[in-house]
Chain A
Amino acid sequence: MQIYLPIAEMSVNIFLILGMGGVVGLLSGLFGVGGGFLMTPLLFFIGVPPAVAVGTEANQIVASSVSGVLAHWRRGNVDLRMGAVLTVGGFIGSTFGVALFSVLRGLGQIELVISLSYVVFLGVIGGLMFYESAKAIVRQRAAPTGRSPRSARGPGRHTWMHGLPFKMRFRKSKLYISALLPLGIGFIVGILAAIMGVGGGFVMVPAMIYLLGMPTQVVIGTSLFQIIFVTANTTFLQATVNQTVDVVLALILLIGGVVGAQIGARMGAKLRGEQLRILLALIVLGVCLKLAFDLVVTPSEPFSFGGFGE
């Protein structure tokens, strides 16, 4: 069954979109990731204009983050104060990101910047994840009892970060750190979210654990909490500045995504952690390689329509 997407201005098979939403939702439920970094490239591959893919994906992530944060909220795993500071940084970052997006689009370089950002981030994250889980598996085989991985931030460890001004107390995270740190992280992730059409959880979560030293049980909830606001801001700005948010596409993706995420979460409970993470790392590296290959290979058609006239 074909359905016409009013903003993307193309006709797509509704079951293909539902299926894509379902598969990415399944993966996100399975691995506890947002899935934007897989969905946006998939939308490029089926021919959705990159600008529409990015704007629409931001809209979909608002929904999936709301759906995800509620459970964490009820368990009290959201550090509101930390979330608010990250959101302020994220608001500024995503506003800057959407403006940058517009400029790059006018210059005809947006696709290149999107692809390059994906290649760099997916490559680094996928590589690290693969290395970590492979190491964990090897360690388990060697010594079945297995030590727990060492925390990056032990008590008493003092770095330049602790010398920054504007210190704030974050009770839930048991931290007394400079507000500039979460502000800066929020800002950078906000730019990424606006340009790449992602929630940015895959950068935010490691940054919260390794840079800020937040306790892991509040990391996911707080990350989802601030993603809602940053992607809502991105959705609003992309809709206002670039008119690239397709609610019809977002809704279809959402339906598939929600169902997939629930199935994935149930499957994930039965599977082993390291094997799962290696699988996710391979998927991430696969998408990264495909995008990198497209950048490097001699294009069969060096010409393309560009700019706003398209």
Chain B
Amino acid sequence: MKTGLILMAFVVAFGIARPATAQSVPLVADLSNHLVAITTGFTGTDVLLFGATDGPGDVVIVVRGPATDVTIRRKNRFGPIWANSEAIAMRDVPSFYNVASNRDIAEFTSERIRALYEIGVENLKLKFVEPNQPEETRQTYGDALIRLNTERGLYSPENGKVSLLANRLFRAELHFPANVPTGAYEVGIYLFRNGDVVSGEFVPLIISKTGIGAEVYDFAHNLAPIYGLFAIVIAVLAGWAAEAAFRRT
């Protein structure tokens, strides 16, 4: 069973590794859009995920944002005021994380399988920069990470909805809020039968800034000193123009 599981993880990790004939592909899926552009008027977006299975089964979708390093700080009381004191750093934390399924995941998977495939925010494997943290610290800071990201709308502890049609076709609306981090996303689709993953597919999704916003961001980061001068020139001109405009009236 254990080896079977690892083997399956291997199969999933490399997409559909079976030398499948055209008819026997158990799972195909795609997105309505592989590139989400954050423009100046961006207020969040929905991307449609759709696909088909070769028979009955349960579908689970896991959306992971680009991995980032984060530091989480904790406030403590110093005299009358609250100030940040200890901090813990984590590596490769998904900046965005969402799960969707056609029914309650606990009904058709075991806790072990969910932990193996990191399905559900509570199953994310967090890598602490300082390796030997006591279990209690790991738990507290792990919960804090999930809570903070949930508050910002980047993690969702509630499962989204996958609609199944005639046990063959499925679709799901993946929602990305206005503050969605940019980068390469990975949408994992798992097909479950009898409590185990029988097939998996990964679809990439790129979220990037475009238009004026992107230009400004790149300018500010790549040519920082020139951007600074540019900001000053704009401010001086704007201030002068404003004064001139109101002087006449």
* Interface, chain A (partner B; CB < 8 A): 1-4, 6-7, 9-11, 59-60, 62-68, 70-71, 108-109, 111-112, 116, 228, 232, 235-240, 243, 245, 247-248, 250-251, 254, 258, 262, 295-299, 301-307, 309-310
A67 adjacent to B214 (CB under 8 Å): no
In angstroms, Cα B41 to Cα A108, docked, is: 32
B228 adjacent to A298 (CB under 8 Å): no
Chain A residues within 8 Å of B72, by CB: 303-306
Distance in angstroms from B35 CB to nearest chain A CB is 17
In angstroms, Cα B234 to Cα A247, docked, is: 9
In angstroms, Cα B214 to Cα A196, docked, is: 28
- A6-B217 contact given A62-B232, A237-B228, CB 8 Å threshold: yes
Distance in angstroms from B45 CB to nearest chain A CB is 12
In angstroms, Cα B5 to Cα A84, docked, is: 74
* Interface, chain B (partner A; CB < 8 A): 38-44, 68-77, 80-84, 87, 89, 141, 144, 147-148, 151, 178-179, 209, 212-214, 216-217, 220-221, 224-225, 227-232, 234-236, 238-240, 242-243, 246-247
B81 adjacent to A296 (CB under 8 Å): yes
Chain B residues within 8 Å of A245, by CB: 220, 227-228, 231
Contact of A240 among B40, B43, B69, B224 (CB under 8 A): B224
Distance in angstroms from B65 CB to nearest chain A CB is 14
A64 adjacent to B217 (CB under 8 Å): no
In angstroms, Cα B246 to Cα A108, docked, is: 43
Chain A residues within 8 Å of B216, by CB: 6-7, 247-248
Distance in angstroms from A87 CB to nearest chain B CB is 14
A304 adjacent to B236 (CB under 8 Å): no
B238 adjacent to A254 (CB under 8 Å): yes
Chain B residues within 8 Å of A116, by CB: 81
A-B contact count (CB 8 A): 179
The 6 residue pairs across chains A and B that have the minimum distance between CB atoms: A66-B239, A239-B228, A303-B144, A63-B239, A11-B178, A62-B235
Smallest CB-CB separation from B234: which chain A residue? A247
In angstroms, Cα B236 to Cα A6, docked, is: 21
Smallest CB-CB separation from A265: which chain B residue? B246
A309 adjacent to B68 (CB under 8 Å): yes
A236 adjacent to B82 (CB under 8 Å): no
A3 adjacent to B41 (CB under 8 Å): yes
In angstroms, Cα B113 to Cα A57, docked, is: 51
Distance in angstroms from A4 CB to nearest chain B CB is 5
Chain A residues within 8 Å of B238, by CB: 63, 251, 254, 258
Chain A residues within 8 Å of B81, by CB: 112, 116, 295-296
A63 adjacent to B71 (CB under 8 Å): no
B220 adjacent to A258 (CB under 8 Å): no
- A67-B70 contact given A2-B41, A4-B39, A240-B228, CB 8 Å threshold: no
In angstroms, Cα B228 to Cα A236, docked, is: 4
Smallest CB-CB separation from B38: which chain A residue? A4
In angstroms, Cα B228 to Cα A273, docked, is: 39
B179 adjacent to A301 (CB under 8 Å): no
Given contacts A295-B81, A310-B71, 9 further A-B contacts (CB under 8 A): A59-B235, A60-B235, A116-B81, A235-B228, A240-B225, A250-B234, A302-B74, A303-B148, A306-B87
In angstroms, Cα B238 to Cα A295, docked, is: 36
In angstroms, Cα B111 to Cα A72, docked, is: 73
B243 adjacent to A71 (CB under 8 Å): yes
B87 adjacent to A307 (CB under 8 Å): yes
